[in-house]
Amino acid sequence: MTRNVLIALLRNDLRLYDHPILHLCSDPTPSNAQFQQPLIVPLEEKARPQFAKTRQLGLWRTGVHRTKFINQSRFDLKQSLRSIGSDLLIFAGTPEAVVPGLIKGIRDCGDTVEAVYLGREVNTEEVDVQKRLDAVLGQLQCPIKLFEGKSLIHSTDLPFPVEQLPDVFTHFRKQVERPDMFREPVQAPSKLNPFPKDVSIPDSSRVFSLSTKKEEVVEKHLLKPLLEEPALGHNELLKALKQLDHYFAGGKRSPGATYKETRNEMLGADYSTKFAAALAHGLLSPRPIAQKASELDQATGTANAKGGGYWIIFELLWRDYFYFVGCKFGWHLFTLGGIEEVLSPESARSKAYDWKHSNSLSDQKDPFVRCPTGKTGVPMIDANMVELVQTGFMSNRGRQNVASFLTKDLGWNWRYGAEFLESWLVDYDPRRCR
């Protein structure tokens, strides 16, 4: 019997709960019941050589800690999908190389491909991926559909077009902040249709399948982490869900209840939510976090007094704001002068000055090299940099201090610091690592 196959292309949405695509796939209505879902996750960051390293410093864009975290998260999701009757195909290769091969394999089996579904990204390079994939699928006469799942507030629920996004966060917040500003999270599927197991793509110079490899075999061939088990370790999907429950459990004694007072600390487990890595790679969506935060304030009687839950949602709105800033300004976000070059070119020119540049990253006496290696002589800066290199994590206040030290005190090209954080942070997200 001919099967009608839906391809769900997963990138930074490695979860079951509140996943719009998987929720649609589990819809039992007749129009969806016929679908069988091959799910693929291309390791696109390492598939295109010219994008594997940063532009300014030539650092690996995905460093050891994030590489391990993503790998473990993908295999965690694979196991979760198997438990509900589906599976996950994992490929090293660009989407425009992987997906056409998969479509060909499906069609060669006598089946049809209904469409390719994927989560919408707004980052410049990810948008380019979407455009290239759209062009290739157009030649194959295969539809592509994008779904939103990264922001707390859906773009169509904004009280203004994204192009008219306020240039000041407070103006944005005051326009969107209301009890019903975000949609209810959708449930995780309890069952998916059988996975088409006879579909494959032959390995080539452009595509390599990791689907049949064991997690530890794949991890063995990744860059070796500095620590065998960093703070963000194993079973990441389960740990993210447990952290979600833990942070809001206990009412007034919960970590979430005191978030406003503790969020700028630097030591300990619960001074901040520790949701950043799970949010960056889509193990959690922001909506269940906001839902639990709102429920916490209701339960503790602080809903009208701006309790800890309010301030967690406040930070999620900051996250949304930068997401929509990315939608509005695109590549301008990454220029040396930033978005001010668009908003106020004259002001940007008046503020422009000669940023310092490193002569050699191998020069241990170079001030910039001394900063990432924790040898500046400034204890707070050095401690934060050592923590980052050893664990892939740095506190919010630590990031602010390090960024200010590099750019304001030392006058270094701000993109140097941005690229170093991109390489080392587990929770790196170009629109939100503010």
Tell me the pLDDT of the chain (434 aa) as tens digits.
677 888 999 989 999 999 999 998 887 654 444 444 445 544 444 445 456 888 888 888 888 889 889 888 988 998 999 999 888 888 878 888 889 988 988 888 888 898 999 999 988 888 998 999 999 999 999 999 999 999 999 999 999 999 999 999 999 999 999 999 999 999 999 998 877 766 766 656 566 666 665 556 666 655 555 455 544 446 788 999 999 999 999 999 999 999 999 999 999 999 999 999 999 999 999 999 999 999 999 999 988 889 999 999 999 999 999 999 999 999 898 888 888 899 888 888 877 777 887 777 777 777 788 888 889 999 999 999 999 999 999 999 999 999 999 999 988 888 899 999 999 999 999 766 54
Domains and CATH numbers, the chain: 1-149 (3.40.50.620), 151-183+236-334 (1.25.40.80), 335-424 (1.10.579.10)
What φ, ψ does residue 357 adopt, rounded to 5°?
A: -130, 145
Nearest to 273 by CA among 71, 76, 73, 427: 427
DSSP of 101-125, one letter per residue? HHHHHHHHTT-EEEEEEEE---SHH
Q: What angle do CA 412, 264, 431 make, to 5 degrees?
A: 55
Q: Is 155 exposed, middle or buried (0-12, 13-18, 19+ CB in 10 A)?
A: middle
b/e code 77-89 from CB counts within 10 Å (16+ = b)? bbebbeeeebbbb
Half-sphere exposure (Cβ direction) of 270: Cα atoms closer than 13 Å? 14
What is the CB neighbour count within 10 angstroms for residue 105?
18
